[in-house]
Amino acid sequence: MDIRWLEDFITLSEVGSFSKASALRHSSQPAFSRRIQSLESWVGSDLIDRTSYPTKLTPAGALFYEQALSILTKANEARHMLRHAQTNFIEFAVPHNLSLNFFPKWLYRMQANIGNIPSRLRAVNVHDGVMMLLEGGCDLLMIYHHPYQPIELNKNQYHHICLGYEKFAPYSRSDWQGKPLHCIINKQPQSPVPFLAYTPNAYLGRMSHYLLDKQGICLDKCYETDMAEALKFMTIEGHGTAFLPETAIHSELEKGILVRADNVEKGKDLSTTLEIRLYKHLSNNHNITHKNQDTLQKIWGYLSEHYN
């Protein structure tokens, strides 16, 4: 049983709408519904009366609601107690690609200016990172932002700083002439280009679909994963073309191993720019120790001066 299922169930119970509850939980409605169904399977009983609107609880759901509140309260109290008992680490939640290709250098530069920062990094997907920040599971959230896929956090509760920008574009292994083995723009119906894709729920997957849809391009999806690093190595081996963040392939671009798979020279540019943001809670978070709060303010003060 996933503790998030309880949080989903409680939210749905309180707002009475799958669409509203999924939005509050920063989830797609189909994914949210699947988690509610998973909870019902685990409990062994229907908890939601889906024949009414607003959504109501079944008698079993009403009984379980009180138990879910109690379980969640005790779990949060235990986490709060343990976080206070731990050392003075600053908890970072960072998507996998940024954790490998941006975070280490960024942290090194910052520590060179303000001193050592005891850090704990949680490599997560975007959705889980946002939920960690909302639920007090991390002190700072580093994340991508794009107008097409904005991260909707209450501006009255959360501050953000722009740390930089990331080029996101399609790439292919190069042939002996330095041209792409798999060029998206030159796709022919009889010989579709193999496409190395992100899973549908991945943030970068939604961005790649957005870029392809703008041009009306459909590709032959032959591989799928939620990890940019995995797509990178599949692309290097020539399995197909993939949308990749530029920081992940900086060395391969310099060596000419990978090249753009669109055709910028002829006006076929399928790239976009992602903003890299760092978020924190506006007020003093009760999950942060006083020592951590001092370190956090020191970090935020330096970033506010040098990045904004």
List the chain domain ranges. Answer: 3-84, 87-164+275-307, 166-274
Model confidence pLDDT, tens digit, residues 216-255: 777 889 999 989 999 999 999 999 999 999 999 999 999 9
CATH of 166-274, one of 3.30.1130.10, 1.10.1370.30, 3.40.50.150, 3.40.190.10: 3.40.190.10
Q: What percent of the chain has pLDDT over 90?
A: 35
Contact 171, 160 (CB under 8 A): no
The CA distance from 246 to 249, in Å, is 5
Looking at residue 151, its pLDDT comes to 82
pLDDT given at position 289: 47
The verdict on domain 3-84 having CATH code 1.10.10.10 is yes
CATH code of the region 87-164+275-307? 3.40.190.10
The residues of the chain scoring below 50 in pLDDT are 285-286, 288-290
Task: Please give the pLDDT value at position 286.
Answer: 46
Query: Is 166-274 the same fold as 3-84?
Result: no
